[in-house]
Structure 1
Amino acid sequence: MEKIVDRFQDSLIQSTQDLIRIKSVQGNPEPGMPFGRGPYLALMYVLALADRFGFTTKNVDGYAGHAEYGHGKETVGVLVHVDVVPGGEDWIFPAFAGEIHDGRIYGRGAVDDKGPAVAALYALKAIKESGIKSSKKIRIVFGTDEETSFAGMKYYLSKEPAFDIGFTPDGNFPVINGEKGILVLKLKKQFARPMSGNIKIKSIKGGEAVNQVPDLCTAVLEVVAGQEVLINERVEEFNKKFGNCLKSEQNGKEIVFVMKGESSHASMPEDGINAISLLMLFLNELGVIRDDLGDFIRIYHEKIGLEHHGESICCGFRDALSGKLTLNVGIIDCNTQGVAVTVDIRYPITTKVDQVRDGIWHALEGTGITVEQTDHDPPIYFPEEHFLVRKLLHAYAEATNDHQSGPMIIGGGTYARAAKNMIAFGPVFPGEKELAHQKNEFISIDNLVKITKIYAASLWELAK
């Protein structure tokens, strides 16, 4: 099958570029498009491609769709997604152009998860063209809202038969045998006291997705004449300390602040620079805001600050299997009436979610800040001796001659949570930097071809 994959390498590359060019960020629902036009167009693209390859396809009410090949009572499933997080700022090349530079395909979704989705489809094409017969059906399911709620996949699985075994190409090699729990909380405070003083904050806005470290945050301040000198001095001091990340512009009585950070996946907040937390640090250091919002900023600084692991907000848990809890402030929305901060937490597999919630509630007790849970996915774990872990680990080792690397547990949340006997399998190889949700996301052409060959061999191993 490897020679077959080599034969259609050019088409594999072109299809990946074409899919990246579809801006499939979740949008407003439309008839037949429950997650907006972008994810729908991406779904239609992959289903049309699967049709051309001669697979049986089905669109399940715009929530998801599948391509199927083979016969048998059992089904091997591959769960992929064609939606992406927003592009973000400061890309070297456009986020939705699919341009090739130095042997790499750049674009949002290149590695998470459009490149692997196309690779899985071409892997199935390689099996079909090889002429070998399997004893199981193989079905690739294309989800449309993995980055937000999994609602599309849940809807799909309520309408279609479950899988017997399978994987999602949305993690790391050699194989992912566990994923931390995911808890999303909204911290809210309504302002009772009117804003006062020489400096008033009219708004703070930042972040586009809770599972992404925000790379931009803005604040609008109203200032009394004469305070500009103080503010300019503080901006200059801050930029000396943190590397010219803060810009300010005066417009009459208002000053607009723009804080630049560095995007990364929320499960690895240490790989990014959180623009929201940096701006809250600056506002706290101004030290002249003495109203309810000023209290909130102070509490944010004390309980969250620039930390990544929740130590100061009483949820700094860790275990030997999966490491430290991570905490990412993904979105802030603040006006003169109140503030809401949305937080993404990835907690260790042996920790109970009640321990995390109780710790945060205790830390914020008496502050007037309410804590609302908006989403929760418990951790998953497969022991190393589990047959699916062993099968995929063997397939990877045979394809790469890497017999040293072992299973791992990640903080990311994948479609492995959506069905039984599913685990994440690639596409990131050992030692490679994780580029999901980061600016300048790319997949190398060599890796795209390599993972296609690995997925073809693995699917055959599971289906024969």
Structure 2
Amino acid sequence: MELNKKIDEMKEELIKATQEVIKIKSIEEEGKPGMPFGEGVAKALDKALEISKSLGFKTYKEEEGYYGYVEYGEGEDYVAVLGHMDVVPEGDNWIHPPYGAEIHDDKMFGRGTLDDKGPIMAALFGLKAIKELNMPLSKKVRIIFGTNEETGSGEMHIYNKKEKAPVAGFTPDAMYPVINAEKGIRRFHVVKPLKPCNCGLAIKSIKGGIRPNMVPDKCEVVIATKDGESIVNAVKEFAAKTGYNMNAEIVNGDVVVKSFGVSAHGSMPELGKNAVMYAMEFLGTIAKGTCGLADYINFFNKNVGSETEGTSLGIACEDKPSGKLSLNVGVADFNEEVADLWIDMRYPVTMKGDEIMNKLSERFAECGAKIERIDADEPLYYPEDGELVKTLLKVYNEQTGEEAKAYGIGGGTYAKELPNIVGFGPIFPGKPDLDHQANEYIEIGDLIMNAKIYAHTLYELAK
């Protein structure tokens, strides 16, 4: 257990390094020369490489700034840890500054503490412990700092063109014990052209959500009407009846309706409360005409409603390795000319994504909507009896004293972007999954435990 002792000795250094990267707001912005995903992401990458260099590692930064990595050891083959320095927007309702990296009650708060800056720092210090102890390796170890996981993983397309694939590895972008199955993902826009409405109720806009892979926690509807007070009262009655958090007021002659939900990761929409769905359900109570938008709202409520498994759309399915299909209406962007929904759908590893998309296209065509701009991630599946999964489980069980088994999730970890790796931590069983949520934090004890598990795992894979 010399590795664990060494990591305990580096505890304060690991905490400080993690705070340094958390304090950098690294959401995607407009690209600049050498900063393809904006200045904040570039600063976070540079800080990670600066910390790595201060620990005595050889570092590399891709010439256009798409990614960087640390390398240690010798040999043709390498074992990889793939983490990302970009984060989703912080959103509202934080009790501590989202980029403060403040520690309260042995918890470090901040966007990226769990997803993914804290865990990748833990892996870096795990490798540092191996280096300090001069433990013999037969393969190189490479810790890769990605920059675009949250909005497309464009940097990994560059990486895979330029770099050799690892022989084994993991991404600390999921949960423990081992994620060996990840659902396929389709992200797509459902677009319906609209004509002027003559039913006496003109919905000027519906806007909610930030990303398709986040359950929207806010939605705003602007309605032009001659009887604003009746709509304000209708919202109050609807909110009282349903228990939804909604309000309305008259602003410059229009009625502004606001609905509020609870955000959650798009892979588990059932854990959130979808503010767009709340707004559409309310609008269905007042959109009684036969115009294109009213028809579409009613179609949505009948075929999607508040469902997260696609039952009424006819696409619900499940399998043993990865579970049920999930559907998240992540962004609504309606105006008087077009209705645009941005949807995140995740399907079981044994199902065919194209067949499901064909069913969806046929269903939405019934109301004159089309599916456009599809982003596709294929499913990932590594058998439980394979060497990679067995090795990771062995280390996890030895370090935790558990008898855990691999399992499948809703997909979307970084493991899909690089061959021969799976999701491995950082969230322990029973601990809250705060990815993409307000008040994201990592317990200091879990940060240190991650470093220990990752140190032993890297040694086992590369020894």
Which band: TM-score by shorter chain? over 0.9
* Matched-pair identity in %: 43
* 1:423 is aligned to 2:422: yes
Cα contact 1:66–1:139 (8 A) shared by 2:
yes
Name 2:225's counterpart in structure 1: 223
**Alignment CA distance shift 1:338-1:443 (3 Å):** same
Q: Which amino acid aligns with 1:137?
A: K
* 1:41 is aligned to 2:40: no
Q: Which amino acid aligns with 2:138?
A: S
Q: Which amino acid aligns with 1:31?
A: P
Task: Measure how far apart 1:435 and its partner are.
Answer: 1.4
Q: Secondary structure at the match of 1:439?
A: coil
Name 2:52's counterpart in structure 1: 50
**Aligned with residue 156 of structure 1, among 146, 156, 159:** 159
* 1:71 is aligned to 2:93: no
Separation (CA, whole Å) in 2 of partners of 1:84 and 1:378: 23
Name 1:140's counterpart in structure 2: 143
Cα contact 1:176–1:409 (8 A) shared by 2:
yes
Q: Which amino acid aligns with 1:434?
A: D
Separation (CA, whole Å) in 2 of partners of 1:196 and 1:184: 33
Separation (CA, whole Å) in 2 of partners of 1:37 and 1:416: 26
Name 2:17's counterpart in structure 1: 15
Separation (CA, whole Å) in 2 of partners of 1:259 and 1:143: 35
Name 2:119's counterpart in structure 1: 116
For residues 158-307 of structure 1, what are the structure 2 equivalents within 5 Å?
Answer: 158-191=161-194, 193-224=195-226, 227-243=227-243, 245-288=245-288, 290-307=290-307
Separation (CA, whole Å) in 2 of partners of 1:340 and 1:452: 43
Name 1:310's counterpart in structure 2: 310
Name 2:407's counterpart in structure 1: 408
Cα contact 2:231–2:255 (8 A) shared by 1:
no
Task: Measure how far apart 1:282 and its partner are.
Answer: 1.1
Could you tell me which runs of 5 or more consecutive residues in structure 2 were left unpaired when the two chains were aligned.
none
What does the per-residue CA deviation read over 1:122-167, in whole Å, with 9 as the maximum and x for residues that have no partner? Answer: 1111111112221111000011011111110120221122211111
Q: Secondary structure at the match of 1:259?
A: strand
Q: Which amino acid aligns with 2:358?
A: D
Separation (CA, whole Å) in 1 of partners of 2:365 and 2:330: 22
Separation (CA, whole Å) in 1 of partners of 2:216 and 2:174: 21
For residues 325-404 of structure 1, what are the structure 2 equivalents within 5 Å?
Answer: 325-403=325-403
Task: Measure how far apart 1:73 and its partner are.
Answer: 2.0
Name 1:59's counterpart in structure 2: 61
Task: Measure how far apart 1:244 and its partner are.
Answer: 5.3
What does the per-residue CA deviation read over 1:176-203, in whole Å, with 9 as the maximum and x for residues that have no partner? Answer: 1110000112100111x31223321111
Q: Which amino acid aligns with 2:224?
A: E
Separation (CA, whole Å) in 1 of partners of 2:306 and 2:283: 14
Separation (CA, whole Å) in 2 of partners of 1:41 and 1:294: 47
Task: Measure how far apart 1:398 and its partner are.
Answer: 0.8
Deviates more, 1:386-395 or 1:230-239: 230-239
Cα contact 1:89–1:215 (8 A) shared by 2:
no
Could you tell me which runs of 5 or more consecutive residues in structure 1 were left unpaired when the two chains were aligned.
none
Name 1:451's counterpart in structure 2: 450
Separation (CA, whole Å) in 1 of partners of 2:17 and 2:295: 52
Task: Measure how far apart 1:294 and its partner are.
Answer: 1.5
Q: Which amino acid aligns with 2:216?
A: P
**Aligned with residue 92 of structure 2, among 65, 82, 89:** 89
Task: Measure how far apart 1:289 and its partner are.
Answer: 5.2
